[in-house]
Amino acid sequence: MSRARALVLLALAAAAALPASASAADPSNVPAGVSAGGVDLSGATLADAQARLEAAIAPRVNADLVLGAAGRPFALKAADAKLTFDSLTTAKRALRAKAPGDVGLKLTHSRLAVRAFVAGVAAKVAKPPRNATVRITLTHIYRRRAVHGRALDQKTVAAQIDAALDDGVAAPRHVHAVLQKVSPKINANDLARVYGTVITVDKAHFKLRLFKRLKFFKAYSVAVGQPAYPTPSGLFHIADKQVDPVWSVPNSPWAGELQGTTVQGGSAANPLKARWMGIVNGVGIHGTGEDYSIGSAASHGCIRMHVADVKDLFPRVPVGTPVLIR
């Protein structure tokens, strides 16, 4: 074999070993009818195509996206969304296009940044629902109706913003969010169940009233605390219940020789007769052996009842029952 023939064969073998991408160079001009983001790039060189895209597309891509929610505009800047437009890669797509048409834009943004933006808007436009509740007075219980709240559907809105940023130019840069209605947990129809039992104590008139399902049910005459040992005022709840309660005598001079001791339930020395419904700080509702004291300010803070009355009241009142004392 001649030296010239050997060199030719070596050259052919080397060419065959080269990858197809290296052996085939990109076209020098964009094919006719090819565009990107609506910008016609027909016949442009790579540098020309990139320059056209920078001039026509970059300003539109970098425009703020405005989210409308609760009648207020909230702007998301392209920089905050970490939105970038790769004009060089887009131009290369156009250059390598095999058929006329739009090759799309090379865009990227941070979905995490979008979700953070949406969460911030959601916090500003949200209104929590207000449960229905009651206003308790000594003689009546009034209903307060529930109010619905509102909230932003963060997942849906974030997806809409992602789509607008991914599109780049065709999609509008205004997204309108319809707020969702948030229902309260307790409605007016639930109040009779939630406040199934309520007690009020009218100290001025020595009257205990029992309400069932928000309606007056029964009244009892009672005794309340002496001026020196007043029955506390406020809204409390029944904390505990006992039958024939043990009396833990307070360390107070009025208790005499019994102070600091414990007196068993049912004992003649125990002033807590028959039943006990504890309220707060050692104050409660109980039966008394001093029936003459009913209708006066005679106790050391507790609410006294006739034994028959406290036995009647006791099974009607669950632990947790609201007690208004005024």
Digit-coded pLDDT (tens) for 62-101? 899 999 999 999 999 999 999 999 999 999 999 999 999 9
Q: Which of 74, 49, 55, 56 is nearest to 64 (CA)?
A: 74
Q: How confident is the model at residue 257 (pLDDT cuts 50, 70, 90)?
A: low
Confirm whether 205 is a catalytic residue. Answer: no
Catalytic residue among 109, 176, 205, 302: 302
8 Å CB contact between 250 and 274: no
Average pLDDT over residues 137-152: 97
Average pLDDT over residues 192-215: 97
pLDDT at position 19: 46
Q: Is the pLDDT of residue 231 over 90?
A: yes
For the chain, domains (ranges, CATH) are 27-137+151-187 (3.10.20), 196-325 (2.40.440.10)
Catalytic residue among 148, 176, 205, 286: 286
Average pLDDT of the residues of the chain: 90
pLDDT at position 235: 98
Average pLDDT over residues 256-267: 73
Confirm whether 140 is a catalytic residue. Answer: no
Total-model pTM: 0.70
Question: Assign residue 43 a region: left if phi > 0, alpha if psi is -120 to 50, beta otherwise?
Answer: left
pLDDT at position 209: 98
8 Å CB contact between 227 and 265: no
pLDDT at position 260: 63
Pairing of strands 273-280, 240-243: antiparallel
Segments in the chain forming alpha helices (H) = 3-17, 20-23, 46-56, 58-61, 87-95, 111-125, 154-167, 191-194, 307-313
Q: How confident is the model at residue 259 (pLDDT cuts 50, 70, 90)?
A: low
Q: Is the pLDDT of residue 13 over 80?
A: no
Share of the chain above pLDDT 90, in %: 79
Tens of pLDDT, residues 263-305: 788 888 788 999 999 999 989 999 999 999 999 999 999 999 9
Q: How many CB atoms lie within 10 A of CB 293?
A: 16
Highest mean pLDDT among 2-11, 111-120, 171-180: 111-120
